[in-house]
Structure 1
Amino acid sequence: MIGGTQMDAADSFDPLRPRLIRVAYRMLGSVADAEDVVQDAFIRWMGTDRSEIREPEAFLRRTVTRLCLDQLKSARVRRETYVGPWLPEPLVEDEEDTEDVALPLMLALERLSPLERAAFLLHDVFGLGFEEVAATVGRDAAACRQLAARARTHVRDARPRYQIEKQRGMEIASAFFAASRSGDMGALGAMLAADVSFHSDGGGKRPAAIRPAIGHGQVMQVHKALAVLFGKYGSTLLRTCIINGLPGFVTREADGVVQTTALDIEDGKVRAIYIMRNPDKLRHVH
């Protein structure tokens, strides 16, 4: 084995694995794909002369990012044929955890080119200098500055003006669950912003809205219809939690689907509702 044993490779790689998965997930929006990319990076790490690597984390971050860039080319083709709205896989966290890339920002990143996304994430989110970004994506530092600047212009509106206090977020999420499941439309309507939007991702595998509902009236119509189903078949709250940086909850619905609901909250009002029902994207939540 070049540069040491397989055990040596694992000992140096495993402490970095969570950080590498973090990079890959934010690039790809898929937990399963991120884990596959990081495992591929580990296989390559085992075949590398590690005695020649002075900064393993930088080397592996470059490897993971380049693998993600390759993956994004095929991902874009898959998204073009996706049934209904596409949402990133839900990342369910404990209330005390922090999230640097919330779901609205991840959706905004989808509109960027792969290189713009990489430059923005590596520099603006993970704090790397442009020389390191350049070495990672195979462009010069000046080009990477331009890529990151273009990305910032596209995602500026997706970044929250302030972070909601998490306990307050959990309280709103609990109240939202109670009102939506009990059919209390008055209480639910009072929680929604005028320009609220509703997004549900079933991926063609489970019933979900084919198009987002936009505006207070449309979203209320959706929830009036859902309240009838909840009243007839039930809905079980499993936990409130942080989902992709947003307050939300995990439920088990009458059709057996474990479902996540994330709420984008601003000024005490729900601005967007993101529901994941695609079972392929919920395996890790179980």
Structure 2
Amino acid sequence: MDPSERRDPEAAGTGRLILQEFESARGMLAGLAYRLLGSWHDAEDVLQDAYVRWSAADRTDVAEPRRYLTRVVTRLSIDVLRTRQARRESYTGEWLPEPVSADALELDDLSMALLHLMERLTPPQRAVYVLRTAFTLPYDEIAQILDRTPDDCRQLHHRAAQALDQDRARFEPSTEEQRQLLLDFVAAARDGDLGRLEAMLKDSVTSWTDGGGVRRAARKPVVGRTKVAQFFTHIYGRPILTVEPLALATGPALEVHLNGTRHVLTLDVAAGQIAGIRVVASPAKLSVLGDQRRS
């Protein structure tokens, strides 16, 4: 037994209860923070801060720990989003969400595309959208979490849905179809088969690349079937290229190893064609996957 437990068994028991209550909600809280932030690093920081606050809180009036922790994590995440907006102005090139292993987080309802699209929302809009759509909380409860009125929260959700729905794919392919399309896309680009590659792409296809200012990357989105096809045949049309399928929390992906570097590739699919391509090459963001594999 720990000496402190012998000295104050009541305090030790309280400490264990505090930890147990937090750990029982950790999976839900991690999913909430990642949805709100699109960054596993930031989500982990928020969870650590939330635990510190939970440990120091007066729990005499806390009837439901999960509800209390949901409020804390949401408010901390909004603070991070607001701070990050200022940092984003100096970010080199495109900013994409961090890929997270499906082993670390189970989020069947979330795609990399939706995470990326949510970057266009204000922090309060994003919070309301996530709490309402992913967690189906009533507007009265969301209003208490955000310290707003229910009508205000309804308006925020309406605006968020309008901003997102116009660009969301209406029909998602199966997991196996996505995996095969990823492999076919890379194979066609590696073979330099422009005709086969263009047949996979929608006219308005867009590609985003996030190198974090460290890896070579297109600083602006590449738009259009011909430009995107040429872009990827130039990148992948080399002999030293290997791929490894990945199961991310947001769906299927490929880890591509090329000339001593690596990146993670995900696709948006609409009506059987590729509508969006996201390439995360930032070493800082890919380190998350390495950490999760080792854990």
Question: Same fold judged by TM-score > 0.5?
Answer: yes
1:99 equivalent in alignment to 2:140 = no
Instruction: Quote the offset at 1:3 in angstroms.
Output: 10
- Report if the CA contact (8 A) 1:199-1:213 is conserved: yes
2:288 paired residue number = 284
1:168 Cα shift? 1.4
Match of 1:241 in 2: 247
In 2: Cα distance, 1:4 partner to 1:64 partner:
25
1:34-113 to 2 correspondence within 5 Å?
34-93=43-102, 99-113=108-122
Structure 2 residue identity aligned to 1:278: S
- Structure 1 position 221 matched with structure 2 position 230: yes
Whether the aligned pair in 2 keeps the contact of 1:180 and 1:188 (CA below 8 Å) is yes
**Which amino acid counterpart does residue 256 of structure 2 have in structure 1?**
T
Is residue 2:271 matched to residue 1:267? yes
| C-alpha RMSD over aligned residues | 1.9
Query: 2:243, 2:254 within 8 Å by CA — same for their partners in 1?
Result: yes
1:254 alignment partner in structure 2:
259
- In 2, the alpha carbon distance for the partners of 1:98 and 1:21 equals 10
Partners of 1:79 and 1:132 in 2: CA distance: 31
User: CA, structure 1 residues 28+200, in 2 after alignment: closer, same or farther (shift >3 Å)?
Assistant: same
SS at the partner of 2:166?
A: helix
Unpaired runs of 5+ residues, structure 1, are none
Number of the residue aligned with 1:198 = 207
TM-score by length of 2: 0.88
Identity %: 35
> How many residues matched?
279
Task: Give the aligned residue type for 2:88.
Answer: R
Tell me whether 1:169 sits opposite 2:178 in the alignment: yes
Query: Quick check: which has more Rg, 1 or 2?
Result: 2
Displacement of 1:105: 1.9
Shift of 1:98: 5.0
Deviations 1:20-56 (A, max 9, x none): 1111111111101001101110111111233432111
- Alignment of structure 1 residues 148-167 onto 2, 5 Å: 148-167=157-176
Q: Distance in 2 between matches of 1:82 and 1:214?
A: 21
Instruction: Check whether the contact 1:185–1:224 (CA below 8 A) recurs between aligned residues.
Output: yes
Deviation digits for residues 171-218 of structure 1 (CA, Å, limit 9, x no counterpart): 111211222233333322221111111111001111111111100111
The residue type paired with residue 281 of structure 2 is R
* Aligned equivalents of 1:2, 1:72: Cα separation in 2: 36
Distance 1:209 1:243, change over 3 A: farther
State the match for 1:186 in structure 2: 195
Shift of 1:223: 1.7
Gaps of 5+ in 2: 1-9, 291-295
SS for the counterpart of 1:203 is coil
Give the letter aligned to residue 112 of structure 1.
Answer: L
CA 1:67–1:4 in 2, change beyond 3 Å: closer, same or farther?
A: farther
Runs of 4+ in 1 over 4 A off after TM superposition: 1-4
Among 15, 19, 29, the residue aligned to 1:10: 19
- Aligned partner (choices 128, 131, 152) of residue 137 of structure 2: 128
